[in-house]
Amino acid sequence: MTILLTTIFVLLQLQQRSYTTAFSVMMNTKRNVNTQMTTVFNLAKDTVLFLVLSCYYILESIFWTLVPNALRSMKSLKGDVVLVTGGGGGVGRHLAVKLARLGAKVVIWDISVEGLQKTCQAVTDEGYEITSYVVDLADRTAVYTTAEKVKKEVGKVDVLINNAGTVFGYTLLELTDAAIETTYKVNILSHYWTVKSFLPDMIQTGKGHIVTVGSVAGLLGTYRCTDYSATKFATVGFHESLFTELRAHGHNTIHATLVCPSYINTGMFDGATPRLVQMLEPDYVAETMIDSIRKNEVNCVMPGSVRYLLPLKCLLPAKMCWDLMYRVMKGPQSMMGFAAKPKVS
């Protein structure tokens, strides 16, 4: 009798538990369906909103591409402290002169004392003022110390142009370890030290602009540039991630511009003979860069046509890309005559 009663009790318990489980499964399923429907609805809503906004963004972009600079309002740099790294040569010197003409308080950094003197001369000859600092961008401590000096002696930096760059021009096996490290220190690591030095003040005042000078070699791997190209690819990632952080944290008034020029006639790539793209003049590059800054553009690729060719890299078969690069553009061949720098760091 006891066994019979216990068996009935256990069976009743099991049945009740299975009812409860079935009920909770039913409820969970209902809840899951509801959650899934909400997720799908939110995704659909965000996608529709994105598509509507995309139409606006595309039309806006076409509009601003067609409107000449003279007819649009551009950001004034008058009175702004603009720091140009690598201001002692090439594009940096042209930037310094043009920025001074726009009324900016120009500060230049360079490792070359002679280069700095020449730029200062070019600016003061036109009747403007300029401040220069000798600094090796490969030396993190020197960068931090010089940044503090600038803040004390000149004031808060409004526009930071990370322009300095270096290239050795050897194939991977010919490159010394020291050369590889120098390229990384100057071309990309220094960007971390300068941005860490000047961004906090920009955030505090709600005003600032960080310009990252990359290269077309940072969008397309280049012969004899495993170090240079890799650091320039890194500048793209640096700029895009920094841009994401600024926007995600609501710092919408701090701007970021990535500049990717093709070959420039400054001597950096002396001996290179690009087949389909012309060597750009440093004056043109500096002018275009400043226009881009004044328009708060996020990307500035020179020449502009390169921007439309780049997606092919991901769309075409790899063999076809190589053939296009080797047979049609003669990319590697154009770098064969490039006069490499001495193998010192």
Ligand X SMILES: NC(=O)c1ccc[n+]([C@@H]2O[C@H](COP(=O)([O-])OP(=O)(O)OC[C@H]3O[C@@H](n4cnc5c(N)ncnc54)[C@H](O)[C@@H]3O)[C@@H](O)[C@H]2O)c1
Q: In the bound complex, what is the minimum distance in angstroms from residue 42's beta carbon to ligand X? A: 43
Looking at this protein, which amino acid is placed at residue 223? Y
Instruction: Choose the binding region for ligand X from 27-35, 88-96, 125-133, 290-298 (rule: CB under 6 A).
Output: 88-96
The footprint of ligand X on residues 155-174 (CB under 6 A) is 163-166
| List 90, 169, 208, 331, residue binding ligand X (CB under 6 A) | 90
- The residue (of 165 and 208) whose beta carbon lies closer to ligand X is 165
Looking at 24-32, 63-71, 85-93, 305-313, which segment touches ligand X (CB under 6 A)?
Answer: 85-93
Catalytic residue among 228, 263, 308, 326: 228
Binders in 298-327 for ligand X, by CB under 6 A? none
Cβ partners under 8 Å of residue 85, min gap 6: 92, 108, 109, 110, 137, 161, 162, 163, 164, 190, 194
The phi, psi pair for 85, rounded to 5°, reads -85, 150
CB of 163 vs ligand X, minimal distance in Å: 5
List the interface residues with ligand X, window 231-290 (CB under 6 A): 261, 263-264, 266-269
Under rule CB under 6 A, residue 227 binds ligand X: no
Residue facing ligand X at closest CB distance: 90
Place of tokens 């509507």: 52
User: Rounded to the nearest whole angstrom, what is the least distance from the CB of residue 213 to ligand X in the complex?
Assistant: 4
Judged by CB, which is closer to ligand X: 105, or 235? Answer: 235
H helix or E strand, kind and range, residue 341: none
Interface with ligand X (CB under 6 A), residue from 82, 92, 158, 258: 92
| Min dist. Cβ of residue 195 to ligand X (A) | 15
**In angstroms, rounded to a whole number, what is the distance separating the alpha carbons of residues 169 and 11?**
83
Which of these, 184, 199, 188, 189, lies nearest to 83 by C-alpha position?
199
293 binds ligand X (CB under 6 A): no
φ/ψ bin of 174: left (φ > 0), alpha (ψ from -120 to 50), beta (otherwise) = alpha
Cα atoms in the 13 Å half-sphere on the side-chain side of 1 = 0
Q: Which amino acid is at 268?
A: M
Task: Using the minimum distance from each CB to ligand X, give the nearer residue, 165 or 169.
Answer: 165
Binding mask 124-153 for ligand X (x = CB under 6 A): -----------xxxx---------------
Of the CA atoms within 13 Å of residue 126, those in its CB half-sphere come to 17
Q: How far apart are CA 85 and CA 161, in angstroms?
A: 6
CB of 285 to ligand X, least distance (A): 8
Question: Cα(233)–Cα(183) distance, rounded to whole angstroms?
Answer: 13
- Cα 103 from Cα 128, distance rounded (Å): 8
144 is catalytic: no
Q: Which residues are near ligand X by CB under 6 A?
A: 86, 88-92, 110-112, 115, 135-138, 163-166, 186, 213, 215, 261, 263-264, 266-269
The catalytic site residues sit at 228
